A and B are shown apart, each in its own frame.
Chain A
Amino acid sequence: MALMNYAQAACEALAEAMRADARVVALGEDVGHGGIFGQYRGLQQEFGAARVIDTPISEATIMGAAVGMALTGLRPVVEMRVVDFALCAIDEIVNQAAKNRYMFGGQGRVPLVARLPIGIWSASAAQHSQSLEAWFAHIPGLVVVAPATPADNYALLAAAIACGDPVIYMEHKELWGLEGEVPPRHAAALGKARLARAGTDLTLVTWSKLVHAAVAAAEQAAQQGVSVEVIDLRSIWPWDRDMVLGSAARTGRLMVAHEAVQAAGFGAEVAATVAQELGVPVRRVGAPRIPVGYARTLEDVARISAEKLLQELMHFVRSDGRRRSIA
């Protein structure tokens, strides 16, 4: 076991991939200085500037060049800084990376990993605080991953680099310093969820940073006699339908929570699937459909706290799944 933070775990996974495979390169703004979150620290010193490539502030070309690199035999890891900036490269992600293999009849593959950190980044306001995983889950051709722990950031980044599909890899902007044990040779498969906490009364599905709030809420619920099963979805697409459906079938209730805006969020997909397949009561918890404000009071309105989750899940259980009255 090794104690690492979330950034170090990713750095270690990338370093191991680069040592093992000369085709793996990293490119993006400031990667040579370790990246703004320290997630590339030391890599340019070890692998050189030809493989850990500092680029201009040219998001479209960072992503588009990665597509060209991937088509011609490299396995690029693309630094986009935050998901909000990747919107400057949306054509390259959606029309180029995601479509290439299909549109050209399977002639090529685009094995790239695009790192697009999500989540509220405290006091950074509207343009640095979005959680846009649902946008990318909507696009055929893409894999979408959102690790919650250092162990998973290590294992899932390794899996993403090994994957032959374009992977939208969404770390969380506020998890970089989170420490945790990373077991040696820890592995995780794309598309497989993780049981974060076992329970019997309600299934709570979430991902990324909110997993930690969900587990905290579940501990508090336990003190009130409610047993909550927490599933860390880990991969948004493909998502682990088997684990979610199996759990919800046992507990008889599904709640899905995410930091993203609730309206048209990926939680709607999970909830609708569970309702359709099992007919059990479902609830969604997500941010209100407002931009994230700067002032702490405003930012807090957009955040989903453990207290909020606890309140929602207790209400859900006590209402026994029936339509709840509007508070």
Chain B
Amino acid sequence: MPANNPAEHFLSLYRTMARIRAFENAAEETSRGGVAVFGATTDTSALVRGPLHLSTGQEAVAAGVCANLARSDYLTSTHRGHGHTLAKGADTTAMMCELFGRAAGTNKGKGGSMHIADFAVGMLGANGVVAAGIPIAVGAAHSAKIRGSHAIVACFFGDGAINRGPFLEGLNWAKIFGLPVLFVCEDNRYSATTATNAMTAGQGAAARARGIGLPAETVDGNDVLAVDATARELVARIRAGSGPQFLHALTYRVKGHVSVDAAAYRDQGEVESALESDPLKLARRRLAALGVTAEHIAEVDAEAQAEIEAALAAARAAPAPGFAEAYADVQDTGTGQWH
């Protein structure tokens, strides 16, 4: 919710973005050599192992949307979910521990980056399967309606997800049952290594949503104030009982599909021009125009950096899960019958 002082509210959005950026920069650094893909080889000393999908350059979407959610609201995310998780209120040390595969991780080291989740803050999970969060989000909203809860659900997915069946099914379901869901298409223009545009017929995400009867707004996803303001309006409509709403946020995936993907398949000029509209850069310029000093902004950046460095230190020192944990939380019925 906007604070009384617009600069203060803007700064809080900026702080969230800076924390996400610092978190992902640190994760990227500690993941070098951690995954064999796109020709890269593995280095067994890497602390963050496996595919690491970075949302660098997309932070305004997570920050702007989640600023309008309560802790009791739910969120479903994608394989690129660090930003959503952090912005929803997860603890960065527990998150970093998860990326490091530690017992103290949000998922006890069982999920890693791609499946990060923090149910305690309503974050019902990243997901390794494109569009798989959509039906789950719809079900959580349906449940809220049945239980008479006031919780709403923010359902994040990428531009690639609109070409999967659950997108159609989930939007249709949310509409016919009038469910409290904010669908957020975080459009970073790429489906793994392929430009989504070349793979998508028609007028894109918002047009498809409107075709199913959902009010849809398209917004500059790098402009955190625009995302915040639009999300605020859509969330207000949902809370007022107007049913599902759709937010199409146009942003850009600055990094490759995973951290080791150099993304050589795209034009360097395209990347450079995208970097010009980096959401943090844009926000700093506008904060300055509002009279926020460079020192103040640098202080926020330094705080974010210090928080993440503390998270890194804690994650480095934390123990790995014990072998017995491999058998925990599989299922209750038949536990012990492993063969």
Residues of A within 8 A of B (CB): 25, 50-51, 53, 55-56, 58, 60-61, 63-74, 76, 91-92, 95-96, 100-108, 140-143, 163-167, 190-191, 237-239, 241
A164 to B120 Cα, complex, angstroms: 19
Q: Is A105 within 8 A of B107, CB to CB?
A: yes
Q: Is B333 within 8 A of A163, CB to CB?
A: yes
Task: Specify which of A66, A96, A238 is in contact with B334 (CB 8 Å cutoff).
Answer: A238
A100 to B334 Cα, complex, angstroms: 17
Task: Specify which of A25, A51, A104, A238 is in contact with B119 (CB 8 Å cutoff).
Answer: A104
Is B74 at the interface (CB under 8 A from chain A)? yes
A165 to B135 Cα, complex, angstroms: 19
Q: Is B172 within 8 A of A64, CB to CB?
A: no
Q: Is B139 within 8 A of A64, CB to CB?
A: yes
A98 to B198 Cα, complex, angstroms: 34
- CB-CB contacts of B171-211 with A at 8 A, as 1s and 0s? 01100100000000000000000000000000000000000
Task: Specify which of B132, B141, B142, B176 is in contact with A56 (CB 8 Å cutoff).
Answer: B176
Task: Specify which of B128, B142, B329 is in contact with A68 (CB 8 Å cutoff).
Answer: B142
Is B83 at the interface (CB under 8 A from chain A)? no
With A64-B136, A165-B333 already in contact, 18 other A-B pairs whose C-beta atoms are closer than 8 Å: A25-B146, A58-B169, A60-B169, A61-B135, A61-B166, A64-B170, A66-B139, A69-B142, A70-B139, A96-B127, A96-B135, A104-B110, A104-B115, A140-B330, A141-B331, A143-B331, A163-B332, A237-B334
Is B216 at the interface (CB under 8 A from chain A)? no
Q: Which 10 A-B pairs have the closest CB atoms?
A: A64-B135, A68-B139, A238-B334, A65-B139, A105-B107, A105-B108, A106-B329, A58-B169, A61-B169, A68-B140
Is B143 at the interface (CB under 8 A from chain A)? yes
The residue in chain A whose Cβ has the minimal distance to the Cβ of B151 is: A72
Chain B residues whose CB sits within 8 angstroms of the CB of A64 once the complex forms: 132, 134-136, 138-139, 166, 170
Chain A residues whose CB sits within 8 angstroms of the CB of B330 once the complex forms: 101-102, 140-141
Q: Is B124 within 8 A of A108, CB to CB?
A: yes
A101 to B328 Cα, complex, angstroms: 10
Chain A residues whose CB sits within 8 angstroms of the CB of B334 once the complex forms: 143, 190-191, 237-238
The residue in chain A whose Cβ has the minimal distance to the Cβ of B115 is: A103
Question: Nearest chain B CB to A64's CB is how many angstroms away?
Answer: 2
Q: Is B125 within 8 A of A100, CB to CB?
A: yes
Question: Nearest chain A CB to B269's CB is how many angstroms away?
Answer: 38
A108 to B109 Cα, complex, angstroms: 15
Is B337 at the interface (CB under 8 A from chain A)? yes
Q: Is A95 within 8 A of B135, CB to CB?
A: no
Question: Nearest chain B CB to A322's CB is how many angstroms away?
Answer: 28
Task: Specify which of A25, A71, A101 is in contact with B140 (CB 8 Å cutoff).
Answer: A71
Chain B residues whose CB sits within 8 angstroms of the CB of A239 once the complex forms: 337
Q: Is B119 within 8 A of A68, CB to CB?
A: no
The residue in chain A whose Cβ has the minimal distance to the Cβ of B117 is: A104
Chain B residues whose CB sits within 8 angstroms of the CB of A63 once the complex forms: 135
Q: Is A58 within 8 A of B331, CB to CB?
A: no
B window 133-179: CB within 8 A of A = 134-144, 146-147, 165-166, 169-170, 172-173, 176
A73 to B127 Cα, complex, angstroms: 20
Chain A residues whose CB sits within 8 angstroms of the CB of B215 once the complex forms: none
Q: Is A105 within 8 A of B136, CB to CB?
A: no
Q: Is B110 within 8 A of A103, CB to CB?
A: yes
Q: Is A56 within 8 A of B74, CB to CB?
A: no
A69 to B138 Cα, complex, angstroms: 9
The residue in chain A whose Cβ has the minimal distance to the Cβ of B114 is: A103
Question: Nearest chain B CB to A167's CB is how many angstroms away?
Answer: 8
- CB-CB contacts of B104-124 with A at 8 A, as 1s and 0s? 011111110001011110001
The residue in chain B whose Cβ has the minimal distance to the Cβ of A106 is: B329
Chain A residues whose CB sits within 8 angstroms of the CB of B302 once the complex forms: none
Question: Nearest chain A CB to B54's CB is how many angstroms away?
Answer: 21
Chain A residues whose CB sits within 8 angstroms of the CB of B137 once the complex forms: 68
Chain A residues whose CB sits within 8 angstroms of the CB of B119 once the complex forms: 71, 104, 107-108
Q: Is B105 within 8 A of A105, CB to CB?
A: yes
Chain B residues whose CB sits within 8 angstroms of the CB of A70 once the complex forms: 139
A58 to B177 Cα, complex, angstroms: 14
Chain B residues whose CB sits within 8 angstroms of the CB of A50 once the complex forms: 146
Task: Specify which of B111, B173, B333 is in contact with A61 (CB 8 Å cutoff).
Answer: B173
Chain B residues whose CB sits within 8 angstroms of the CB of A55 once the complex forms: 173
Q: Is A69 within 8 A of B107, CB to CB?
A: no
Contact A142:B331 (CB < 8 A) given known A61-B138, A65-B136: yes
Q: Is B132 within 8 A of A96, CB to CB?
A: yes
Question: Nearest chain A CB to B283's CB is how many angstroms away?
Answer: 32
Task: Specify which of A105, A142, A167 is in contact with B110 (CB 8 Å cutoff).
Answer: A105
The residue in chain A whose Cβ has the minimal distance to the Cβ of B166 is: A60
